[in-house]
Amino acid sequence: MRNSTAAPVRAPWPCWHPLFDRVAMHATVIVTKVLSTLLLLPTNLILTCITGLLLRRAYPRTGMAISMSSLLLLAILSTKAGALLLVMPMEQRSPPLAVSEVDGAQAIVILGGGRQANAPEYGGDDSPNYWTLARLRYGAKLQRQTGLPILVSGGTPDGSRISEAAIMENSLRDDFATPVRWLEGASDDTKQNASFSAEILRQARIRKIILVTDAVHMHRARLLFAQAGLTVISAPTVFFSRERLTLLSFLPSGEGLRRSEYALHEWVGLFW
C-alpha cells in the first residue's frame, strides 16, 4: 500500500510535444525582442506611417507628411547605399586589425552571430549561420597567425538544446581544423557574452584578448568586454561600408533593409 503522504506525480500535459522545448525562450529575451522589434526597422516606420494615416482626419497635411516621410525613409534604408547612413559611422569606429596590434594578446574570443537550425544537409543538426561562419573563418585565420587559444561565446537565447558555442566549436574543428580551448554557452546577449567570458578567462589568468565579431557589432561589444574587466584588441570582420557600390545598391532589397536594421539595433544598443 502506497504512503498517502507521498508527493503526487503529475501526468504529462497531453498536448505537450518535445518541439516546444526547442522554441522555449527566456522571458527576458522575449520581452527584449518584442521591445526591440517595435523600435527597429521596419516596424518603427510602419507604425509611424499608420500613425500619420490616423492623423489625416484631424490634421490632413501633418498626417500626410508623416506617412509619406515614413515610406520615403523606409525606401531609402531598404537599399544597400541607404543603409550606409547607419552602417558607415558605426564601422568607422572599428578599423581593421593591424598585425602590430596583437602584441601582448593572450586569447582570441569569437562571438556567435546566430545559427541555421535543423540544417537538412547536416543531418538535421544546427549549424552556424553565415554571420557566425564569417566570424569563425576570421578567428581561425587569427589563430593560425598567432597560435593563441580560442574561446567561443554563444548560448541558447532561442531555447535550443545545444548552445551556439558548441556549434561554433564543431565548425572550427571540422571546417577549419582549428581547436577551441574554452566554451561559453550560457549567454543570451552581448552583455552576457562579455561577463560570462570574462569570468572564464579570469580563471585562466587572461586579461588581454583579441575580440572577433562583425564591424557593425564591434564598437558595442568592445565597450561591454572592457566593462567586464578585459583589455580588448578589436578584430572586426564583414565591413559593409568597404563594398563596391553598383546600380543595384541603390534599389530597395531585403539585404539593404537587413543591414539598416542591424546597424540601428547597434545604435539603440549603445543607449539601451
- Per-residue pLDDT tens for 26-61? 677 778 888 889 999 999 999 999 999 999 999 999
Which residue carries 561577463 as its cell? 195
Task: Give the per-residue pLDDT at 26.
Answer: 62
Residue 271: per-residue pLDDT: 87
Is the pTM higher than 0.75? The answer reads yes
pLDDT, residue 5, reads: 39
Whether residue 212 contacts residue 178, with contact meaning beta carbons closer than 8 Å, is answered with: no
- What are the structural domains of the chain? 33-96+248-272 (no CATH), 98-238 (3.40.50.620)
Q: What integer pLDDT is reported at residue 6 of this predicted model?
A: 41
Give the pLDDT confidence score for residue 136 in this predicted structure.
98
State the burial class of residue 193 (Cβ atoms within 10 Å of its Cβ: 0-12, 13-18, 19+).
buried
Q: Is 136 exposed, middle or buried (0-12, 13-18, 19+ CB in 10 A)?
A: buried
Give the residue carrying C-alpha cell 580551448: 181
What's the confidence (pLDDT) of residue 7?
Answer: 41
Q: What is the mean pLDDT of residues 159-167?
A: 95
pLDDT in tens, 1-18: 444 434 443 334 344 444
Q: What is the mean pLDDT of the chain?
A: 91
Say yes or no to pLDDT of 242 above 80. yes
Task: Report the pLDDT value the prediction gives residue 31, as an integer from 0 to 100.
Answer: 82
Check residue 25 and give its pLDDT: 54
101-114 mean pLDDT: 97
Higher-scoring residue by pLDDT: 110, 157: 110
Closest CA to 250 of 4, 78, 71: 78
Neighbour-count burial of 250, counting CB atoms closer than 10 A to its CB (0-12 exposed, 13-18 middle, 19+ buried): middle
Q: Percent of the chain at pLDDT above 70? A: 90
